[in-house]
Homo-oligomer: A and B are copies of this chain.
Amino acid sequence: MLVTPKGWTGPKIVDGKPVEGSWRSHQVPIPDVRTDDEHRRLFESWMKSYRPEELFDASGALAVELRALAPRGVRRMSANPHANGGSLLRDLIVPDFRAYAVEVPEPGTVTAESTRAVGCLLRDILATNRDNFRVFGPDETTSNRLDAVFEVTDRTSMAAVLPTDESVGPDGRVMEVLSEHMCQGLLEGYLLTGRHGFFSCYEAFTHIVDSMFNQHAKWLKVARCLPWRRPIASLTYLLTSHVWRQDNNGFSHQDPGFIDHFINKKADVVRVYLPPDANTLLAISDHCLRSRNYVNVIVAGKQPELQWLDIEAAIEHCRKGLGIWHWASTDAGAEPDIVMACAGDVPTLETLAAVEFLRSIFPALKIRVVNVVDLMALEPSTVHPHGLDDPEFDSIFTKDRPVIFAFHGYPTLIHRLTYRRTNHDNFHVHGYKEEGTTTTPFRMAVLNELDRYHLAGDAINRLPVSAECAADVRRRIDETLAEHKRYIESFGDDPPEIKDWRWHAHPVL
């Protein structure tokens, strides 16, 4: 081991103060050399102490014998393949994700834990890619319903394994440590050296690595401009245990704003997906795991929730990124009276329940339901490669009809993405507004006005409905919400008409 003084061989004393061997050598060691003659003399004698005449030839080039010392070709430090991980990258072997599909005979009639399906996919990827794939997460693999992975591997631990431990061992390929910083750092290193990974994290606590994500995204932006840098596997986050399910946690665990932070980075690097159910989550996960040079964020629930699309419909929906759900709409392909849009699992549920409620009051109302999986599809095509062009966007969201948009995150994010669109002035976004704490899923939605009744009430405000009729519906809504509140406060659970609500197919007009 060689220990040297800080700033060794630099100036010893400047202006009577020690520099070499002190903190000052970390600053500008000799300031103002252009204007201070004494400093310039000192600077010159320091530079000359390296005897440049022995190091460089008359033309200023490095001396031939010194140049010869540098290693050549792949022996150069910069040519170490681990520093250009893409050159070592092998494709991940991903089984056909259709095999993990949840059976959905009719939309909105069966429930499943969406992340559990991904857990099975990850298990089989772990089993078939034993040396270049790992799963990362802060002690939440089981809580996030990914525990199928423990059928084929363990959590990594180099410490002694106790008899009471389960799924813990030195060869485990699940990196579980209650430090989002460590998970992120380990995963970045793993990707940068040519391997693949998957990071599952509580949504609110992904902010812990905001700054680390920044640096990785910036690295990817710059790396894209260097032709010799080979693409690396994408960094994929699964944000679950999200803001809308606070059955056991509370206000401290509510922050859907990682995606706000995330999309400030370059459009050619960042991707955001909000699959509303298990099959869309499978299709998106497959896509993300195969991708290169991106940072992907997937937001998805882990709780049992209604399923909407069978696997083929899910694939088609995810391919487009967003689209009209004709089976839930009553506009029969004509210009609708209103668009009910949604992004995220809980907003999708509440939107469909709002549609059913509206349908029951106004059977002739032409409602269009739009679901958004790929958030970047909302942006203009000139801003993000996934963005819809304006005519296509207008054909879905209309040019002049009210759009009630139920969004998973902070409402302003939707405005930020859509403010240049023709119909933006008619976008009315509901989302999280920092209300609610440990409570039932429905109460969380109500407190933030994202629930079916607030959505339906907002729709009625925007429709040409008689004042009398609107007042009547609003009274019904207020009474229903008051009744639910009483039930929830008495029983600590959502009322059966909410909990057991199912989508009822209706004849397409």
Residue A56 is within 8 A (CB to CB) of chain B in the complex: no
- Given the interface pairs A260-B260, A434-B265, the reply to whether A211 lies near B205 with Cβ below 8 Å is yes
| C-alpha spacing A164/B23, complex, angstroms | 8
Say which residue of B22, B162, B208, B210 sits within 8 Å of A261 (CB atoms): B210
- In the complex, what residues of B have CB within 8 A of residue A419's CB? 415, 419, 424
Say which residue of B211, B252, B412 sits within 8 Å of A215 (CB atoms): B252
- In the complex, what residues of B have CB within 8 A of residue A162's CB? 22
Report yes or no: A434 in contact with B266, Cβ–Cβ below 8 A.
yes
Q: Interface code A159-176, partner B: CB below 8 Å = 1, 0 otherwise?
A: 000101100000000000
- In the complex, what residues of B have CB within 8 A of residue A434's CB? 218, 221, 264-266
Q: Using a CB-CB cutoff of 8 Å, which residues 174-216 of chain A contact chain B?
A: 204-205, 207-208, 210-211, 214-215
Chain B residue with Cβ nearest A21: B164
Residue A476 is within 8 A (CB to CB) of chain B in the complex: no
| C-alpha spacing A210/B212, complex, angstroms | 11
Say which residue of B164, B261, B412, B416 sits within 8 Å of A257 (CB atoms): B261
Chain A's interface: helix, strand, loop or mixed, by majority? helix
Number of chain A residues close to chain B: CB under 8 A:
36
- In the complex, what residues of B have CB within 8 A of residue A257's CB? 261, 264
Q: Using a CB-CB cutoff of 8 Å, which residues 229-270 of chain A contact chain B?
A: 251-252, 255, 257, 260-261, 264-266
- In the complex, what residues of B have CB within 8 A of residue A18's CB? 164
| C-alpha spacing A164/B13, complex, angstroms | 11
| C-alpha spacing A208/B261, complex, angstroms | 12
Q: Using a CB-CB cutoff of 8 Å, which residues 297-317 of chain A contact chain B?
A: none
Residue A82 is within 8 A (CB to CB) of chain B in the complex: no
User: Would you give the shortest CB distance from A104 to chain B, in whole angstroms?
Assistant: 27
| C-alpha spacing A251/B214, complex, angstroms | 10
Say which residue of B17, B164, B210, B221 sits within 8 Å of A211 (CB atoms): B210
Residue A334 is within 8 A (CB to CB) of chain B in the complex: no
Say which residue of B208, B222, B264 sits within 8 Å of A251 (CB atoms): B222
Q: Using a CB-CB cutoff of 8 Å, which residues 125-171 of chain A contact chain B?
A: 162, 164-165
- In the complex, what residues of B have CB within 8 A of residue A410's CB? 264
User: Would you give the shortest CB distance from A472 to chain B, in whole angstroms?
Assistant: 27
Report yes or no: A207 in contact with B415, Cβ–Cβ below 8 A.
no
Chain B residue with Cβ nearest A28: B248
Q: Interface code A307-338, partner B: CB below 8 Å = 1, 0 otherwise?
A: 00000000000000000000000000000000
- In the complex, what residues of B have CB within 8 A of residue A207's CB? 210-211, 214, 261
Report yes or no: A214 in contact with B255, Cβ–Cβ below 8 A.
yes
Say which residue of B211, B260, B415 sits within 8 Å of A208 (CB atoms): B211
User: Would you give the shortest CB distance from A438 to chain B, in whole angstroms?
Assistant: 12
Chain B residue with Cβ nearest A417: B412
Report yes or no: B264 in contact with A260, Cβ–Cβ below 8 A.
yes
| C-alpha spacing A23/B178, complex, angstroms | 14
Residue A474 is within 8 A (CB to CB) of chain B in the complex: no
- In the complex, what residues of B have CB within 8 A of residue A222's CB? 251
User: Would you give the shortest CB distance from A219 to chain B, in whole angstroms?
Assistant: 9
Residue A24 is within 8 A (CB to CB) of chain B in the complex: yes
| Selected A-B contacts with CB under 8 Å, 12 pairs | A18-B164, A21-B164, A207-B261, A210-B210, A215-B252, A218-B252, A221-B434, A257-B264, A265-B434, A266-B434, A415-B419, A419-B424
Interface set of A (CB-CB < 8 Å, partner B): 17-18, 21-24, 162, 164-165, 204-205, 207-208, 210-211, 214-215, 218, 221-222, 251-252, 255, 257, 260-261, 264-266, 410, 412, 415-416, 419, 424, 434
Closest 5 CB pairs of A and B: A207-B211, A22-B164, A210-B210, A207-B210, A208-B211
